[in-house]
Amino acid sequence: MEELKELEQIQNLMLMIQQQSLGPLSDSFDNTNYAADSNRFLANFILFMRKPCGELDVSQKWKLISEHFPKISSAFFEESLCQLRDKGNAYSEDSLAHDFDDDKDVKLSQTDCEDVAMVSFDSMKRANSTLEDFCRSYFMFHEIDVNSAGSIFKYLPWLSFTESYIYQLDTLNEKLVQFSLGESSAFTFRPLVVLLERNGLYTDRIRDEFKCGEEYWALERKLCHALTSKQEIKVEEVMKAIHLKSFDYRVLNLLLYQLTGKEINETHMEFLSVSEFLVEVSDDLFDYEDDVLENNFNILRMFVRIYGASAAPSMLAKCITEAEERYSGLLRSLDHNLSIKYQQRCEEATKEGGKVFGPPLGTWSMPPIIKDEDLYRFEVSKTMATDNQVQMRTKMFY
């Protein structure tokens, strides 16, 4: 939990640095990541300066830095790193590989795990609907009775904690998207990795899906930033993002294989991956207007930018048709009873959600295309302001 609080503090500082133009400007460098990385470094440094150090106050710390840091050359810095390596203290950048592959870092006590890997109540509430859908849609692939309370609660602690932790990171990513910080940050699953590994549940496949999650969040930030700043958007990155988006379902599914002690059924995994893609597309169509207002990743938004308002629906329909054909073929490869159960579950979800859950059920329909997103957001905000004024006047008279 402390790591998440610190990450949020860093993002707030980065936003302040960016707003006040205290760091380097991205337009001034060929490497577009330079400014973001520099701002992150400055934010980390400011946060470091707040930490207590004996009797030194902030002004004394700044005085020390002003007087002595100019004397420290890059050569001295490199030499100091060599000294640290020689003494057995390996130096490495804060990277995803470090989070996942350094065995020394994950050998913590159980108390350490409980202190670090924590989730908020809000994250648990947000994860609840996903958990319910996962249990009702995926338990059948593990021959688990979803109507049995014993079956649910046997696996719920791990499934709930994992999904809630992912939602917690997703909330932080949403803030970055709203701030239009582009590719400015990376997230870490390390506390969750520690917990899973200590309990014998962490696998290479789960690690790969965590990497997919980080890649999706990075793409989401990049693409939404590009959309609002009128930059180029590549269809390859959009398609990659929509396929990566359901990584949390795959994490839960792989975790369930570990919890039940069964081997992974690759046919089931392949079928579900296609189903997940179609579900994500149908969700994006249903949430299109909201995603425009909130600047969320949405495949239709991206297609409108790439292909134009008139061609975007037909191009997306082509992708849907190709995926549905693959879905139908994989559906026939499933056990007959499992195939029937899954289609019944899709029908239930379609009725419950009022939208297409998965192929080939329901009817695909494109929402009205928003050609000018800025104008649309302005008009909606103006309408909301008018409605609020009417409500206030109503309260005054009644």
Task: Give the pLDDT confidence of 148-158 residue by residue, as tens digits.
Answer: 999 899 999 99
pLDDT at position 99: 44
Place of tokens 């789960």: 206
Question: Pick from 219, 215, 245: which is nearest to 233 by CA?
Answer: 219
Single-letter code of the amino acid located at 45: F
Residue 56's DSSP bridge partners are 53
pLDDT tens sequence across 192-240: 999 999 999 999 999 999 999 999 999 999 999 999 898 999 999 999 9
pLDDT tens sequence across 252-274: 999 999 999 999 999 999 999 99
What are the C-alpha distances in Å from 61 to residues 65, 67, 80, 106, 345? 6, 10, 21, 33, 62
C-alpha span between 394 and 397 (Å, rounded):
5
Q: Residue 83's pLDDT band (boundaries 50, 70, 90)?
A: low
- Beta carbons within 10 angstroms of residue 12's beta carbon: 13
Strand, helix or coil at 53?
strand
Whether pLDDT at 164 is above 90? yes
Better-predicted residue by pLDDT, 114 or 162: 162
Q: Say if residues 98 and 105 touch (Cβ distance below 8 Å).
A: yes
Which tokens sit at 184?
């400015």
Q: Residue 86's pLDDT band (boundaries 50, 70, 90)?
A: low
C-alpha span between 145 and 138 (Å, rounded):
10
Could you tell me which residues come within 8 angstroms of residue 18 by beta carbon, excluding any fewer than 6 positions away? 39, 181
Better-predicted residue by pLDDT, 291 or 386: 291
Question: Pick from 311, 162, 318: which is nearest to 248 by CA?
Answer: 162
Which H helix or E strand runs over 228? helix 204-228
- Beta carbons within 10 angstroms of residue 173's beta carbon: 19
Question: Pick from 224, 189, 194: which is nearest to 209 by CA?
Answer: 189
